[in-house]
Structure 1
Amino acid sequence: MTKLSVNINKIATLRNSRGGNYPNVVQVAKDVERFGGQGITVHPRPDERHIRYQDVRDLAPIVTTEFNIEGNPNPKFIDLVLQNKPTQVTLVPDAVDAITSNAGWDTVKHKDFLTEIISEFKNNGIRTSVFVDPVAAMIEGASKIGADRIELYTEAFADKFTISPEEAVRPYTESAMLAHSLNLGINAGHDLSLKNIAYFKEKVPYLLEVSIGHALIGESLYLGLETVISNYLKALK
């Protein structure tokens, strides 16, 4: 079975929009695990606009499944990861002003930089994954820098899925087969949802883990909205 790691950034966004500590990201992480989630993903950014660095420190001792910290490996991020020792660190080349991740690493251009960082994480017992586009050269590059896994950037798949599922998934199927031949584990994430996840899982071999946040939280609002409104109506009778 492919593992589901739930990205809880959107929970932190909701909390931060109002101040205070509701919803509580630590409690949500516990609930995700209680509901069957097999991992917790967070992506702290330098401006801490959703997940804060303190959230990572609070989550590290309570996550009992797999803890995955994503981010651009600037010095502050590296220190945070080394201090909290997650199961996995996923390196993402997001710019400081990026709303969300929008490209994978150029593992050829940044070979020396990534090799040094990955070596440090692996020396500390942390599994490393590198965010890449479904491009053969980038996957081959990932195998040369010491990464344990790649995370396939799936926005292009999601964008094309409703037009031509077969065409949309083909690069990812080929990429997964190449990665497996290079002894790289395969993760995937970005814009995967209930509409496309089953098809992606069926067509992409050797898929170990998906990280899903935005769609999962949005879908939860709708799939859970009727129950919450019903409970309010009962309370108001």
Structure 2
Amino acid sequence: MTVLSVNVNKIAVLRNSRGGAEPDVVRAARACLDAGAHGITVHPRPDARHIRADDVYALAELTRAYGVEFNIEGNPFAPPREGYPGLLTLCERTRPAQATLVPDGDDQLTSDHGFDFIRDAEPLRPRIAELRALGCRVSVFADADRAGIELAAALGADRVELYTGPYAEAYADGRAESAVAAFAAAARRAQAAGLGVNAGHDLSQANLGAFLRGVPNVLEVSIGHALIGEALYEGLDATVRGYLRVIAEAA
């Protein structure tokens, strides 16, 4: 069955907007795990706009204590700077179960596209090898409509994470069926090359079930923005349990 990894970046956004330590990212992550979430995801950025390096270290300890997966997302090409030691160093220090590589820049509000595996092949290959040498499973962010998704396997990646922003837009516009078909085709191409398939971005309780019913063998969904937004009304425990019900029903 598909596993749910909760992205807690938005908790850090709220904390950082005021300064101090509240809301507590680790406490929020613990609440998600106590509700049944299968793992925790973070996406530390070089500008520390939300998750910071100290959060990464604390959450690594929490997930080890719970015996669940920790997934660190980030741009493998972003250089270290004050307060941000770099993706590879964070993974060296915490040894997450999974490192998800995302081609985002400092000027991006959020991740909004996957890698071009033809153009980016040679720069990606050594970064993937370094992370796998640390014992990390490596997933790479991918667009469903881009040619060459199969090449991620030749680069040494274990999985691709399908960028589902376009699916969420299509679902909201009443075009879910055609969008699901495109994502299903991309998933099958990746799986035929030996890659596992994850998915994430703008997935919600409203649109997740249709996606999972239509796209075969999705191993993991990482969900943050919608989940934290919904939790403002229903609470973290009830919201995480709601997502788990959606996943179970889709299975």
Determine which of 217, 224, 227 is the counterpart of 1:213: 224
1:138-192 deviations in whole A, cap 9, x for unaligned?
3112121110000000010000113221112111100111111111000000000
How far apart, in 2, do the equivalents of 1:8 and 1:203 lie?
27
Alignment correspondent of 1:131: 141
Q: Bigger shift: 74-83 or 185-194? A: 74-83
Alignment TM-score, normalising by the size of structure 2: 0.87
Residues 132 and 138 in structure 1, CA contact (< 8 A), matched pair in contact too:
no
Superposition pairs of residues 1-237 of structure 1, within 5 angstroms: 1-63=1-63, 64=66, 65-73=68-76, 74-75=78-79, 76-135=86-145, 137-162=147-172, 163-224=174-235
1:105-126 CA-partner distances (Å, limit 9, x unpaired): 0111111111100001111110
**Moved segments of 4+, more than 4 Å:** none
Which secondary structure does the structure 1 equivalent of 2:48 belong to?
coil
Q: Secondary structure at the match of 1:151?
A: strand
Q: Give the superposition deviation at 1:26.
A: 1.0
**Is the 1:149–1:184 contact (alpha carbons within 8 Å) kept by the matching residues of 2?**
yes
Alignment length (residue pairs): 226
SS at match of 1:128: strand
> Which has the larger Rg?
1
SS at match of 2:150: helix
Q: Unpaired segments of 5 or more residues in structure 1? A: 228-237
Choose between structure 1 and 2 for higher RCO, CA contacts under 8 A separated by at least 6 residues: 2
Assess if the C-alpha contact under 8 Å between 2:97 and 2:136 holds in 1. yes
Deviation at 1:136, TM superposition (A): 5.5
TM-score, length-normalised on structure 1? 0.92
CA distance in 2, matches of 1:106, 1:136: 7
The root-mean-square deviation of aligned C-alpha atoms, in Å, is 1.4
